């Protein structure tokens, strides 16, 4: 069947799968803009296909999205190798209630900034095989078709990916209670703005790491900052550089991004940084500071 009715049916089917496809593409690529571009390309090609012999449209669309995502990720990795300073994924706003509607499907640890950051060490095909099997629950037979590899090879790819991730993050991630996250973030914000280095240190884990992503055009630490003393002084020094009330309007907003608490700082309505807080055992283990404004479009659209 072809014509307007067929296109309407194809569009409806694509829309019904869009959240899942977006979830796959975002986790593959780490940026919502790239994920949206992949989906637009997949949608246009989907409408042009002869769909009469496609038995499982949802799986077919996932295959198209995966392969387009792998191709785009290969190109993106080349650009990221030339990126100035650390590269962090693009944060996206997520709901306070995980059971409510969301911009991406399957809300779990694989959506957190830290997890997406770890996925950067994987090759594009490793990343795809691991995500499709371990996060989206496709069988290895299905994954093999999606990434155009043998089933045994997909098992090896996913196993290798798990080993790499475990080597850099051996402890399982436990989602803290929202109330604890809010309390720690409130204390952190008060201590940083008040210049209380000791109070900031008391909130930090012994192995705390602060990672900044500013890109080439915005000032940010070019290497991760490690340890409570160095991280606490960095945070207080950065807060001390904010303009005074006579110089500009400074606004601080608490929000949730990638299922984690975040602190968005705006100067005269312009975002200057988003700090994402990751806790472990009631203390702050990681701080991810996104300074590059190109990565704050999704957050600002919802803030």
> Domain with 215 in it: what CATH number?
3.10.450.50
Phi, psi of 189 (to 5 degrees): -60, -45
Query: Do the domain assignments include residue 41?
Result: yes
Q: Is 103 in contact with 93 (CB distance < 8 Å)?
A: yes
For residue 182, give the DSSP letter: H
Q: Is 83 in contact with 149 (CB distance < 8 Å)?
A: no
Reported as type and span, the H/E element at residue 239 is: helix 228-240
Q: Is 296 in contact with 274 (CB distance < 8 Å)?
A: yes
Reported as type and span, the H/E element at residue 266 is: strand 260-267
Average pLDDT over residues 150-179: 88
Average pLDDT over residues 149-176: 89
Query: Do the domain assignments include residue 121?
Result: no
> Domain with 56 in it: what CATH number?
1.10.1740.10
- pLDDT attached to residue 221: 72
Task: Mean pLDDT check: name the lowest of 13-17, 51-55, 57-61, 167-171.
Answer: 167-171
Query: Do the domain assignments include residue 165?
Result: no
Query: Do the domain assignments include residue 142?
Result: no
**What pTM value is reported for the model?**
0.89
Q: Which of 67, 84, 101 is the last residue of a domain?
A: 84
What percentage of the chain reaches a pLDDT higher than 90? 71
Number of domains within the chain: 2
- The most confident of 7-11, 55-59, 171-175, by mean pLDDT: 55-59
For the chain, count helices (H), then strands (E). Answer: 11, 6
Cα(297)–Cα(302) distance, rounded to whole angstroms? 9
Q: Which of 64, 84, 104 is the last residue of a domain?
A: 84
131 versus 106: the higher-pLDDT residue is: 131
Cα(262)–Cα(20) distance, rounded to whole angstroms? 25
Residue 103 — very low, low, confident or very high, per pLDDT cuts 50/70/90?
very low
Q: Which of 51, 84, 117 is the last residue of a domain?
A: 84
Contacts of 77 (CB under 8 A, 6+ apart): 124
Cα(276)–Cα(209) distance, rounded to whole angstroms? 12
Residue 209 — very low, low, confident or very high, per pLDDT cuts 50/70/90?
very high
Query: Do the domain assignments include residue 51?
Result: yes
Average pLDDT over residues 9-35: 94
- pLDDT attached to residue 79: 85
Q: Do 293 and 183 fall into the same domain?
A: yes
What are the Cα distances from residue 197, in Å, to 93, 136, 193, 217, 229?
30, 43, 10, 29, 8
Range of the domain at 232: 178-302
């Amino acid at each position: 069947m072809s014509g307007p009715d067929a296109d309407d049916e194809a569009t409806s089917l694509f829309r019904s799968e869009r959240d899942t496809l977006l979830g796959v593409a975002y986790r593959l690529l780490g940026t919502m803009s790239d994920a949206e571009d992949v989906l637009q390309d997949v949608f246009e090609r989907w409408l042009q296909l002869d769909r009469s012999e496609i038995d499982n449209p949802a799986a077919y669309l996932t295959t198209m999205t995966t392969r387009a995502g792998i191709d785009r990720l290969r190109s993106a990795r080349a650009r990221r190798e030339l990126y100035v300073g650390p590269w962090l994924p693009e944060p996206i706003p997520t709901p306070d209630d995980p059971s409510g509607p969301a911009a991406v499907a399957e809300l779990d640890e694989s959506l957190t900034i830290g997890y997406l950051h770890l996925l950067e060490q994987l090759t594009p095909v490793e990343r795809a095989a691991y995500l499709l099997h371990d996060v989206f629950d496709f069988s290895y037979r299905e994954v093999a078709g999606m990434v155009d590899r043998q089933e045994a090879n997909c098992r090896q790819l996913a196993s290798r990916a798990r080993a790499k991730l475990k080597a850099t993050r051996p402890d399982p991630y436990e989602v803290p209670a929202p109330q604890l996250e809010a309390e720690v973030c409130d204390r952190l914000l008060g201590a940083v703005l008040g210049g209380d280095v000791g109070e900031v240190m008391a909130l930090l884990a012994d192995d705390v790491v602060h990672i900044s992503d500013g890109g080439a055009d915005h000032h940010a630490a070019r290497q991760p900052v490690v340890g409570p003393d160095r991280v606490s002084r960095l945070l207080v020094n950065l807060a001390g550089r904010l303009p005074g009330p006579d110089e500009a309007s400074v606004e601080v907003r608490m929000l949730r991004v990638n299922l984690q608490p975040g602190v968005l700082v705006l100067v005269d309505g312009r975002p200057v940084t988003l700090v994402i807080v990751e806790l472990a055992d009631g203390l702050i283990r990681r701080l991810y500071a996104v300074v590059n404004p190109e990565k704050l479009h999704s957050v600002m659209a919802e803030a």
